[in-house]
Each structure stands twice: as C-alpha cells, then as structure tokens.
Amino acid sequence: MAIKKKKTPITKSKKTASKSISSKKTKEIINNFHQLLKRRKTTTNEVEIKDIDRAIDELGGMEAYQHASTIGQSTPRGGDSSHYFVKWLAELGVKKSYVADKEKMSLLEIGALLPDNYHSERSWIETELIDLKSNHPSIKEQDFLQRPLPSKPDDEKDAISSSLVLNFVPTPQERGQFLYRLNSVLKMNGWLFMVLPAPCVVNSRYLTRNHFISILETLGFKLVKEKIGDLQKGSRIAYWLLQKTSKPNKPPIELTKKTVLVDGPKLNNFCILI
C-alpha cells in the first residue's frame, strides 16, 4: 500500500529527521506558535479563540516561543543573522566610513529577542531594540505595527534589521503595513536588512522571490545584496540588504490582490498584500 507523504510546514526542515530531537522540537514549537497566532488573528469565533488561547498556554505562552527562537539563534544552529548584515555593510564600505567619521549608525532591531546581537559592533552601531515580548531590560516591549512613526527627521533611523519577524506577522495585509512602516522609519538612503524563512519566497503559491522584490521596489527600496538558502541543501533562510531610495509608490493592482503565482503540491500559503 502506498504511504501518503506528510506535507512539510513552512518553518519545518525536510532534514529534521537527521537532526537532534531538541532541534526538531524547537522547530515544532516555533511552527505551532505561528499557526496558532495566525488562526487567532483571523477567527471571530469566541469558542475557537478560547481553544487557541488554551493551546498557546499549553505550549508555554510567548516565553516558550521566544526560548525556542533563542535556541534557534545559538551558534551550533548557525548563529544569529546579524553577521550577514555587518559583513555586507563592511563590503560596501559603510562600516569604514562610519568608523572614519567617528559617527554611529542608528539601527532599529525589530524582534530583537537577544540584547547583544550587535554588541561587537557597538563602536559604530547604536541599536534600539524592540520586541513584542521583552526578556531583557535593554529590549523595549513594543509592537512595531503600533510604534509611533517619526515626527521629525532626527527620529528616523539609518538602518533597520527585521530578521525572521515579517513571517510572524499574522495577516497578508498587516505584512504589507509592516513594510510601509519600514519605509517611514528609515532615513532616505537608509539600510534595510530583511530575513525570512526561504520557503516564504521559494515555496509559496502566493509569493515568489520576484514578486517579493517587486513589492519592496514599489515601497521605495532598491535591492543591494541577496542570499537565498537552497532548500535542497538544507539551507532554509533568505537574507536581503536593501536601501531606501524613495517614498512608497502607488502599488499596481497585482500587488494588492491575493493571486496564485505558482501552482502545485507541497506549497505554503505565505502572502503579502500592499
């Protein structure tokens, strides 16, 4: 009898079977949280909301989710993503010019989780750290979607890091709002470091890499560097360095509607609407 193969969820590696149990468990916890928070955002059924809240509590609440994410960031699991951002800025000569001018780049790290990702670069990077749930005094507890927008140019940032956060935002419309806000918070020519699980752009029926870049370009960003993990080789993270070159433009109709871009089995439903 043919055995039906189980569908691989978006945040789960095909190679988990060969990894340690705790690595598999970590991915399971993160994935379950994403699914529950997404369902909670989209349902209006009170009974279902209670069930979802109970399930979140049973998983250990936001603390358990963040703990699992912290383990995911640890060096044996590949480390945090900040080293790509710093490496790219160094390659572009940005670091050199801040150091030479004895100035500091103002960086907003959204979804910081840990307080010290940029600690080794503190001579030229000044970080403001925010997260929905703070687990350290230097991380401000703040939802980026509710953060007051800069009221004067001095409040705008030279750079923003959004690493594995956009995929946590529950709805396609809110993901779009998140991207608009990134533009509003950045200075002109400011840097945006964006990280997503690679399946969001290589394995979704509603989002391809080109579609994602079109969205970002429409919202005023120019692509500067890119590294997309190869799922076949077990590499599941995608990194982009972008630069703000304008305010958001009016989106063409195809970026405002949920449209199937890729058809086939084993695809996920990750989508962004602007």
Ligand X SMILES: C[S@@+](CC[C@H](N)C(=O)[O-])C[C@H]1O[C@@H](n2cnc3c(N)ncnc32)[C@H](O)[C@@H]1O
Read off the tokens for 143: 């939802």
- CB under 6 A: which stretch of 14-22, 109-117, 211-219, 246-254 binds ligand X? 109-117
Nearer to ligand X, 45 or 121 (CB): 121
Nearer to ligand X, 41 or 96 (CB): 41
| 230 residue type, one letter | D
Q: How far is CA 195 from CA 38, 136, 227, 272, in A?
A: 19, 22, 10, 15
Read off the tokens for 122: 């503190």
Q: Which of residues 113-142 bind ligand X (CB under 6 A)?
A: 113, 130-133
Q: What is the DSSP letter of 116?
A: -
If one asks whether residue 182 binds ligand X (CB under 6 A), the answer comes out as no
Contacts of 43-49 spanning 24+ positions with Cβ under 8 A: none
Q: Which residues contact 84 (CB under 8 A, 6 or more apart)?
A: 193, 195, 227, 239
Mask for 52-71, x = binds ligand X (CB under 6 A): --------------x--x--
Q: How far is it, in rounded angstroms, from Cα 46 to Cα 168?
A: 22
Mask for 69-88, x = binds ligand X (CB under 6 A): x---x------xx-------
If one asks whether residue 158 binds ligand X (CB under 6 A), the answer comes out as no
| 248 residue type, one letter | P
If one asks whether residue 242 binds ligand X (CB under 6 A), the answer comes out as no
If one asks whether residue 143 binds ligand X (CB under 6 A), the answer comes out as yes
Nearer to ligand X, 221 or 239 (CB): 239
Binding site for S-adenosyl-L-methionine: residue ranges?
A: 111, 131
